A and B are shown apart, each in its own frame.
Chain A
Amino acid sequence: MTNKNENHPIGNKVVSQIDSKKLTKNIVIVGGGTAGWITAGTLAAKLTSQHVKNFSVTLVESSNIPPIGVGEGTWPTMRRTLKNMGIKETDFIRECNVSFKQGAKFAKWVTGKHDDYYYHPLMLPEGPIKDNLASHWLSIQFPYNENPKKQYSFSMCLSPQEAICEAGLAPKLITTAEYDAIANYAYHLDAGLFSEFLKQHCIKVLNVKHVVDDVMAVTNNDDGDIACVSTAEHGDLSGDLFIDCSGFKSLLLGEHYQVGFKSCKDVLFVDNAIAVQVPYSDENSPIASHTISTAQTAGWIWDIGLSSRRGVGHVYSSRYISEHAAIEELKQYLSATVNDVEQLTFRKIPINPGYREKFWHRNCVAIGLSAGFLEPLEASALLLVEISANMIAEQLPANRQCMEIVSERFNQTFTYRWERIIDFLKLHYMLSQRQDSDFWCDNRKPESIPSSLKSLLSLWQYQPPSDNDFIHATEVFPAASYQYVLYGMGFKTASSHWGYSTEASEKAYEKFKQVNLQTSQYKANLMSNRDLINSIKQYGLQRV
């Protein structure tokens, strides 16, 4: 085993040693959780649909390592990811206890008071004036809601989705084709079942080779690339590209190549989660069609409705609250909906927020927890898996020389993406006005806020977030997401000193009226989230 022999490659020497003409033929994925199978499926679907020969995708997973099994929230990208793999949405919904997610409701994040909440819906404002709507929302008031308390909520003015979620309605109809939406949506899913479901699809439909075995050793070539991984019973699995989906263990990138880990616990404080599965009171209990995130004294509680049960968990910072007190807060939260909280099984999951200094090193790239993990807020984990797998599939380097270029690009792109996600998550904490613990006060301290976020915030004091504020073509979070959080949390952007023309104000007013009309139409026509899930289980969704 020639492990860890290459901590500090000497640039030129290494490059001259690699066989730059060596073709990328065999891809070996180590680890079979959701990350491994999403990666396998994405790569195999792309290769089999567009190419004919000289490639193979092999996934090796141990039967001894249980998957972490959280990560039950997704982004709308998952619809495309599944569709591209040739999966029928109906099968996925039936087999992974899926329900629809239309966004997140953040309760008690701003003041901590009983009626404090805002929405981050998944529907994005569209049209040429989409960025400016925020300015108009800030400068004009629109009286068309009977409830004066929520009258002017930003998300209510920009999207019908807050109202749909509050009413427990589904984002589409039984007549809407699979993967199509009336209101943009993602999923809540059972990660364990999802992994198994993808595995069957990858093996049976996409010809992914599946090896169930323990990886005992990682062996390098003379040039320092990984030549093969050695298994206990299936011999050596050699490959041209190795994808590390081994979870927190980070077997290839972390353990073998010793690529450093960049902690961000000075920015994002949570370092533990207590997860619990909560049964519904009966099989037809309503299913929330959004993630509910409720702030606590030193963290927050996620509440995710699957079709079969709820997944609930408290993420907290052990620097500010004891495990015992964190569990008590979770039990307190659950007692509103569960008769006997003592019957439930609580599972502790440590979190070390941060990411690798690079993700693609030589012929090895890490996807999933092996690349890093921040925290469950805004469900970025599976999203990162999807966009990583997608970028590798789309830019799959033909040979070793190309791999140098693509990997460099990949590292730049994903370092940027991790930084933007950290900024975005931090925004949720630092805009809070809660005073009830040092956790919240410390989150507002300037030294805990990344400079990139600070400069955006100074900009946003004078102009609302715009897609121009973000330099990459495919941003993880669009400007609209920043707007929903900023204005949901009461951030103030100054009115333009240039004023607003009558024409511009009228256009904005038209848009708000249109959303209001759409809201009442959707509320009249959409069925409940539970009813739609039941109908899909019974009849299925059509493909057209």
Chain B
Amino acid sequence: MKNVIVDSNTHKNTKVLVGHGQDFGENIHFVPVIADELRSLILEYPCCLLKNNQTGQFGLHALLGFESGENLFLADANWRSHYIPLHIRRQPFMVARKDHSSEPMSETNTVLTIDMNNRRVVDGNTSADSQDLFTSDGKPTEYLTSMNRMVFELAQGIVRTESFIQSLVDNELVEAIQLGISMNKRHSADKEQENINFDGLYVINEKALANLSADLLQEYHRKGYLQACHLMMASMGQIQSLIRLRNQSS
């Protein structure tokens, strides 16, 4: 990764390829999401917490497949879902802070960055479907403006989601689940079934949520946490859709 600040001079000829698919590293079996997306995500994706392998900390994710490299929502160069998670759509942009203060993010203390090593980034002409960052007179294109807005919202959402998850942990609302799934064996002609156990998935402990104190319940309602919890709980039903997609593809 090589994130640099987006600049009308440096990036006047830079183009971003806007397609989808394995070529852009989208063949991943889970993707980080923010709580603000849950409402859209739950119609298609199972969403739960996964632990970061380096830190052990929880992150909110949408599940896309059952094994490394398997994105069941990806059909060649297209997503077959209506909603595509922000983390996918934001590529290759991100937001960086200008300072190290603990102030909330704002338009003034952040800058838009671009990952120059991302496979979407090309300098000069390309035959592939692409977007310019700047117009010939150095003004941001409509595309760049909309990406800027999206990435800024995402960055703020990440901070809000981290607070939400921290609160879930502090109040012991997270529980580990093990999924035992029966699905078609890969590369098996006669649709042979196999049972696979998945662990490392963490969901809302419904019992603990139901037992929240009145004060906390009110706080959770006010902050939108309660709704987020219910959306997460409801989303896990989409595991069935994921199995269906898997069985269609195998």
Contacts and interface: CB of A to CB of B under 8 A. Distances in A.
A541 interface: yes
Q: How large is the interface on B (under 10, 10 to 19, 20 to 34, 35 or more residues)?
A: 10 to 19
Interface of A: 173-177, 535, 538-544
B58 A542 contact: yes
B176 A539 contact: no
A538 B52 CA distance: 14
Given A175-B200, A177-B176, A542 B169 contact: yes
A543 B169 contact: yes
Given A535-B54, A535-B55, A542-B58, 11 more contacts: A173-B56, A174-B53, A174-B54, A174-B55, A175-B56, A176-B56, A538-B55, A539-B56, A541-B56, A542-B56, A543-B172
B119 to A, nearest CB: 29
Given A542-B169, A543-B169, A544-B202, A175 B53 contact: yes
Nearest to B202: A544
A542 B51 contact: yes
Contacts of B169: 542-543
B233 to A, nearest CB: 16
B56 A540 contact: yes
Interface in B165-181: 169, 172, 174-176
A539 B175 contact: no
A539 B51 CA distance: 12
B193 interface: no
Contacts of B57: 539, 542
Nearest to B175: A544
Contacts of A174: 53-56
Q: Which of B51, B169, B174, B200 gathers most chain A CB within 10 Å?
A: B51
Contacts of A542: 51, 56-58, 169, 174
A543 B169 CA distance: 8
Nearest to B55: A539
13 contacts: A174-B56, A175-B51, A175-B52, A177-B176, A535-B55, A535-B56, A538-B55, A542-B57, A542-B58, A542-B169, A543-B172, A544-B176, A544-B202
A541 B56 CA distance: 7
A538 B55 CA distance: 8
Contacts of B52: 175
Contacts of A541: 56
Q: Which of B56, B175, B176 gathers most chain A CB within 10 Å?
A: B56
Q: Which 7 A-B pairs rank lowest in CB-CB distance, beginning with the nearest? A: A174-B56, A175-B51, A539-B55, A175-B56, A544-B176, A544-B174, A539-B56
Interface of B: 51-58, 169, 172, 174-176, 200, 202
B200 to A, nearest CB: 7
Nearest to A177: B176
A420 to B, nearest CB: 37
Nearest to A180: B176
Contacts of A540: 56
B55 to A, nearest CB: 4
Contacts of A176: 56
A177 B54 CA distance: 14
A163 to B, nearest CB: 22
Nearest to A536: B56
Contacts of A175: 51-53, 56, 200
Contacts of A538: 55
B124 to A, nearest CB: 43
B27 to A, nearest CB: 23
Contacts of B54: 174, 535
A539 B52 CA distance: 11
B159 to A, nearest CB: 18
A177 B51 CA distance: 10
A196 B27 CA distance: 52
Contacts of A535: 54-56
Nearest to A527: B54
Contacts of A173: 53, 56
Q: Which of B52, B55, B58 gathers most chain A CB within 10 Å?
A: B55
A175 B176 CA distance: 12
Contacts of B51: 175, 542
A173 B56 CA distance: 8
A368 to B, nearest CB: 33
Contacts of B53: 173-175
A205 to B, nearest CB: 16
A535 B169 CA distance: 18
B135 to A, nearest CB: 45
A526 to B, nearest CB: 12
Contacts of B174: 542, 544
A544 B170 CA distance: 12
A367 to B, nearest CB: 32
B5 to A, nearest CB: 29
Contacts of B55: 174, 535, 538-539
A544 B57 CA distance: 11
Contacts of A177: 176
A358 B174 CA distance: 47
A536 to B, nearest CB: 8
A177 B52 CA distance: 13
Contacts of B172: 543-544
A542 B55 CA distance: 10
B229 to A, nearest CB: 15
Contacts of B176: 177, 544
Nearest to B200: A175
A204 to B, nearest CB: 18
Contacts of B202: 544
